[in-house]
């Protein structure tokens, strides 16, 4: 994983506070997790060595992804990535950073059932405690207003648009 630096900082379109601080669950011992999305310059993809898909830093607990990796993880229902889209504490970024938040319903589908609904608790009391919500989740699935699959064409249209707008102007 690459270290975040001026390159990533300059191209970051969205940065949020995530985890316990974002949702009011922090304790005095909690750190401040920061997640971000950056758009690598389109011409960098013409090189033999591609831009980093992930980065960390320069702040402690700071992590981010290039828009291509962000898109793939979000469409797969990755909980860490999907947390970035609605997280309320947005750190100032660019107008392009609002775009993935505006189309966040396009990333959602019933596929999140498998990524958010799984777990392997080992204690009997934890299993009993989780059984009821899991049953409710399973029974709610057929009536879910979410589509069967995420809106890949809409997300791809956005990603292509970001790449196109990121081309250098003559």
- pLDDT tens column, 1-46: 555 566 667 888 998 888 877 777 778 888 888 888 999 888 888 7
Q: What are phi and psi of 78, to 5 degrees?
A: -65, 120
* Better-scored residue on pLDDT, 60 or 127: 60
Give 149-163 pLDDT, tens digit per residue. Answer: 999 999 999 988 998
Residue scoring higher pLDDT (25 or 109):
109
DSSP codes, 58-116 = SSTTEEEEEHHHHHHHHHTT-HHHHHHTT-S-EES--GGGHHHHHTHHHH--TTHHHHH
Tokens of 87: 């997280």
Q: What is the pLDDT of residue 95?
A: 87
pLDDT exceeds 60 at position 99: yes
Does residue 123 have a pLDDT over 70? no
The predicted structure's pLDDT at residue 152: 93
- For the chain, what are the domain ranges? 2-107+151-165, 110-146
Exposure string of 53-64, with b = 16+ CB inside 10 Å and e = fewer, is bebbbeeebbbb
Say which residue, 43 or 72, is predicted with more confidence: 72
Beta bridge partners of 9: none
d(CA 76, CA 55): 20
Beta bridge partners, 55, equal: 2, 64
């Amino acid at each position: 994983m690459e270290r975040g630096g001026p390159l990533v900082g300059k191209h970051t379109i969205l940065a949020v506070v995530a985890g316990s601080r974002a949702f009011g669950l922090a304790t005095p011992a909690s750190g401040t997790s920061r997640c971000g999305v950056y758009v690598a310059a389109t011409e960098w993809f013409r090189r033999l060595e591609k831009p980093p898909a992930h980065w960390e830093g320069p702040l402690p607990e700071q992590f981010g992804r290039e828009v291509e990796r962000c898109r793939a993880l979000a469409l797969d229902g990755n909980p860490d990535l999907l947390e970035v889209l609605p997280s309320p504490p947005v750190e100032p970024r660019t107008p392009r950073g609002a775009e993935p938040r505006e189309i966040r319903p396009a990333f959602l589908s019933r596929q999140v059932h498998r990524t958010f609904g799984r777990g392997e608790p080992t204690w009997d009391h934890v299993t009993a405690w989780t059984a009821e919500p899991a049953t409710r989740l399973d029974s709610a699935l057929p009536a879910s207003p979410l589509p069967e699959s995420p809106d890949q064409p809409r997300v791809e249209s956005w990603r292509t648009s970001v790449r196109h707008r990121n081309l250098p102007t003559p």
